[in-house]
Structure formats: structure tokens, C-alpha cells
Amino acid sequence: PKEYELKEWGLTVRDISFMLAREMKRKDTDGVLVTSVRPGGPAGDAKPGIQRDDVLVEVGGKPVKSVRALKEITEEIVKDAASPVPTLTGFERKTDRFVTVVKVGITELQDPGLEVKKAWLPVETQVISRDIAELLGRPDTTGFRITSVYANSTAEKAGLLVGDLILAVDGEKMTASAPEHYEELSAFIRQYRAGTTAELSIRRGEEELKVPVELVSAPKLAREMKKYRDDNFEFTVRDVTFFDRAKEQWAEEQQGVLVDQVIPGGWAALAQLAVSDLILEVDGQPIADVAAMEAAMKAIAEQQPKAVVFKVLRRIRTFFIELEPKWDAK
């Protein structure tokens, strides 16, 4: 029997043939055999969770005798529903019969909104641990060591360097001396308003310095960026952050969308699309951001082409990925 994907359940399923029913020692062919369960999907997240080789026999009080029946019941459940619908589901696992509650439906991605912007010092740091302080020959030193200074930032313009030790801010001594104290500096800086200047007490080698630095608004975090999830190809992308550009050493004008999730077994996964890939083009069309990606993928869903080509940047390599959807399987 043919295998079907039910995105509302996060399952692939098939009917039970006469021979398969005999092999499974079932009295008839009633029910739907689960052939795979998507990690993090509705059926997989249920308690107890549905597993591969389970047989669905009842949904919402209605018997499930075939895939067709399950599809019809599912359509009734999700019709006009604004969010996934908790549904009592009966399934059999060998000689046991279980019931569970599955939230049937596809969860829409929510706009994450923006976090309240606080002041930010554009550097990365590590705590000066006791071991580090001792090896530096100053066992009583506490505070933070700069590990990175963001290019073209106010910190770079102020002259801060990798290796500088931040001992105090506006005369307030930093007391961090263990890795778990990593939040002390950033928490202190967040008390300021963006645009104000703080004076850092710096030790650079044997030199003690006072360095005024303008504090800026913290850049958006990954969780604040707009996302788009494609339920046909089963992957999610988001807009690129300041930190992505810095980490990957991308130019400020670098466009594209960053792959945030790829569902195992989906069309994108089969084409070897990977998390952290930067999608640059879709079928030759440049992709500037999530809005452009969403428009391109919706057009593809309407046209249902035999193949879709992504131009992708992965680390230092740029290459093409061909995705081959099987629209007739939907």
C-alpha cells in the first residue's frame, strides 16, 4: 500500500494489507499503520507518544479503518480551527491498546516581536577566573577579559583591544571570578540608556587605562528575527542577525535567509539542505530576506514544478541544491 504524509499529525502512514495484517497477527485490515513519526511533531509530542509500527484505530471517538477515513476525520478536526485541536486518539501497539491526546493541526509561526532594547557594549568577553588571574601574576584580579571587539563599533573606535581586562565600569568594580558570573558585566551595562558613555577601567599589560566608550542599542537576537516555515518542503528560515554576520564574517550588505530547521525525511532534508545554510537564490531569483523567501515558495507551491534549485552558501562554499518534490504524494 502507498505511504501518505499527514502533516497535521507529523506522521507518515499506510493502509494495512491482508498479508500485512496476517504478519502482524491482526484479525482484520482495519486501522492505519504508522510508518514514521516526525520528531517534535504533534503525534511524537503526545503523552504517551505515538511510535513507528503503532496502528491508529480511533480518532475523536470515530473508528479509523483506513488512511482515507483518517484523512476525512482530520479534515473535520482542523476545519476552521485557529490552532491545533487536542484530539483523543486510540492506537494499538502489539497486544496493548493505548489512548493519548494529540494536538492535531499545523502551528502557525508567531511574530516574535522585539525585546526591549537595552544598552550594549559591542565586545565579547570571558570571566577572569581565579586560575587565569593567578597565571597573569595578579591573583586578586576580578572582572572580564575582552575576547573579541566588533568591527566598526564604538568599542573599536574607543580603542578597546582583544586581551584588555575590564576591571570596573564608571568606578564600579567588577567582581566576577568564575564562569558562572558571566552575566555581571552585561547586566550592569543594561542599566544604562543606549547612547550614553561609560568609562571603563582597563588593564592592558602593565598599563592602567580609563577608556570612555559609547554604549549602543543591543542588536536583535536570533529569536527576535522574522521566520518563515515551508510546510511542503519542511524547513524553516529566518532573517540574518548582526551576530550571524560577525560570526561568519559576512559583509554588511550580505543578503539571504538562514536555515533554522530542517525536518528529517522532508524534501529539503532529502536534498541535503542543512541548518545554518544561507539561501541566496531560489530558481535564480535573489533572496534578500524572509519576505522574499516566502513569496518565492508560495509561487512554487502554486506552480508545483518537478524540481526547485536553491543557491546556498555553506561556510566558504557556494553551491546549488536541487529539491525534487513529489506533489502527487500530498
Let me know: does 215 contact 194? Beta carbons within 8 Å: yes
CATH topology of domain 3-104: Pdz3 Domain (2.30.42)
d(CA 284, CA 308): 10
> What's the farthest any 2 CA atoms get from each other in the chain?
85
pTM: 0.66
Domain boundaries, the chain: 3-104, 119-217, 222-329
d(CA 314, CA 223): 21
Reply yes or no on whether the pLDDT at 107 is more than 80.
no
5 strand-pairing partners: 12
Amino acid letter for position 228: Y
Reply yes or no on whether the pLDDT at 9 is more than 90.
yes
Q: Phi/psi class of residue 295: alpha, beta or left (left: φ > 0; alpha: ψ in -120 to 50)?
A: alpha
Helix, coil or strand: residue 173 = strand
d(CA 199, CA 213): 6
The grid coordinates listed for 68 are 482515507
> Cα-flanking dihedrals φ and ψ of residue 161, to 5°?
-130, 155
Task: Sort 45 into a burial class: Cβ within 10 Å, 0-12 / 13-18 / 19+.
Answer: middle
89 strand-pairing partners: 59, 100
Which range scores top for mean pLDDT: 70-84, 213-227, 270-284? 270-284
Residues in the chain: 330
Q: Sorting pLDDT into bands at 50, 70 and 90, what band is 31?
A: very high
Q: Domain spanning 222-329: which CATH class is it, in words?
A: mainly beta
Domain pair 3-104 / 222-329, same fold = yes
Count other Cβ atoms within 10 Å, centred on residue 39.
Answer: 10
Q: Which residue has the cell 502533516?
A: 7
Question: In the chain, count of helices (H) and strands (E)?
Answer: 9, 22
d(CA 237, CA 267): 15
Count other Cβ atoms within 10 Å, centred on residue 199.
Answer: 13
Return the CATH superfamily for domain 119-217.
PDZ domain (2.30.42.10)
Q: Tens digit of pLDDT for each residue in 147-167? A: 999 999 999 999 999 999 999
Helix, coil or strand: residue 232 = coil
How much is the pLDDT for 1?
76
Reply yes or no on whether the pLDDT at 252 is more than 90.
no
Reply yes or no on whether the pLDDT at 119 is more than 60.
yes
Reply yes or no on whether the pLDDT at 205 is more than 80.
yes
| Between 81 and 171, residue with greater pLDDT | 171
Task: Sort 262 into a burial class: Cβ within 10 Å, 0-12 / 13-18 / 19+.
Answer: buried
Continuous segment of H or E residues that includes residue 36: strand 32-37
> Which segments of the chain does DSSP mark as H helices, in order?
18-23, 42-45, 67-78, 130-135, 154-158, 184-189, 242-248, 267-270, 290-303
Q: C-alpha angle 213/218/224, rounded to 5°?
A: 170
Residue-wise DSSP of 100-130: EEEEES-PPPPP---PPP-EE-SEEEEE--H
Amino acid letter for position 168: A
